[in-house]
Amino acid sequence: MIEVRDLRVRYAGRLAADVPELDVGAGECVAIVGESGSGKSTTLLSLLGLTQDAEISGHVRVCGVDVLAASPRGLREIRGARAALVMQSPQSALSPATRLGVLMRRALKLHGVGRGADRGGSLDEIMAESVAAVMLDRTILRRYPHEISGGQAQRFAIALAIALGAEVILADEPTSALDVTVQAEVVGVLRRLREQRGLALLLVSHDLALISTIADRVLVMKDGEVVESGPAARVLTEPAHPYTRELLEALP
């Protein structure tokens, strides 16, 4: 679902991310970890052609689309619907005076969901099913953004992605604003979705404890470079690079 080779992203000539290889298949979860400024978000945003003022080279395919060569129309086809970006504080992106159900219905109509014969069910059924898939009660659809918690907002953002038919979820620090119990809930939801629906997950996080509970593979970034990558179980228990050891030692 995601295939990256020799991705280099520069801002004003300065290298912000250099990723030789990154693959995420259906049903897999890959995590990018590293300290602030290491190039994690830059890598994630470049997968959807969302970096601003950046010079990008390399090869990036997401859901079969060659992102660096794609037209704006080609990019619109994958963004939002097939590959969804879940940000740290989705609440701030929600319109404050719009009930969540209205917002979801609008997004689905905009993307033509519920119109084709390919995904059966009315919009109401699709909405109810996606909300249930992230373990939220369907009454959430009647609420306004300020009436829900951070963890519920995060799960609603994931429900929206599912309702739109996302095959890939790109999540930037999805749980860092949440307390530990709520973090575990959001991670549990992501884990179920990848197991039950074969979603491909790419998570960006500085939280190694979180990563250890969900990721198959980990890329460790420092100053824009990938200093270590491999199976999560190996990287987190027998880190080969001193920087990864430092990150692990910094864990509470």
Cα of first residue to Cα of last residue in the chain, in angstroms, is 34
CB of 69 to ligand ATP, least distance (A): 22
Tell which one of 16, 30, 210, 220 touches ligand ATP (CB under 6 A). Answer: 16
Is the Cβ–Cβ distance between 235 and 249 less than 8 Å?
A: no
Is 42 among the residues that bind ligand ATP (CB under 6 A)? yes
What is the C-alpha separation between 106 and 2, in angstroms, rounded? 28
Q: Which stretch binds ligand ATP (CB under 6 A): 34-42, 68-76, 123-131, 155-163?
A: 34-42
CB of 43 to ligand ATP, least distance (A): 7
* Tokens describing residue 212: 């250890």
Tell which one of 1, 28, 41, 133 touches ligand ATP (CB under 6 A). Answer: 41
Whose CA is closest to 47, among 62, 64, 31, 35? 62
**One character per residue 183-222, x = contact with ligand ATP (rule: CB under 6 A):** -----------------------x----------------
Is 40 among the residues that bind ligand ATP (CB under 6 A)? yes
Q: Which stretch binds ligand ATP (CB under 6 A): 38-46, 138-146, 161-169, 235-243?
A: 38-46
If the CB atoms of residues 32 and 133 are measured against ligand ATP, the closer one turns out to be 32
Q: Which stretch binds ligand ATP (CB under 6 A): 35-43, 67-75, 89-97, 211-219?
A: 35-43
> DSSP alpha helices (H): ranges in the chain?
40-46, 72-78, 100-110, 123-133, 150-163, 180-197, 208-214, 232-237, 242-249
CB of 162 to ligand ATP, least distance (A): 25
* Tokens describing residue 60: 């990036």
Tell which one of 1, 18, 39, 164 touches ligand ATP (CB under 6 A). Answer: 39
Under DSSP, the state recorded for 79 is B
Q: In what order do the strands lie in the sheet with 83-86?
A: 65-66, 54-62, 2-11, 14-24, 225-231, 217-222, 29-33, 200-205, 168-172, 83-86
What is the C-alpha separation between 41 and 17, in angstroms, rounded? 9
If the CB atoms of residues 39 and 114 are measured against ligand ATP, the closer one turns out to be 39
How do strand 14-24 and strand 2-11 relate by DSSP bridges? antiparallel
Is 244 among the residues that bind ligand ATP (CB under 6 A)? no
Positions that interact with ligand ATP (CB under 6 A) = 11, 16, 34, 36-42, 52-53, 206
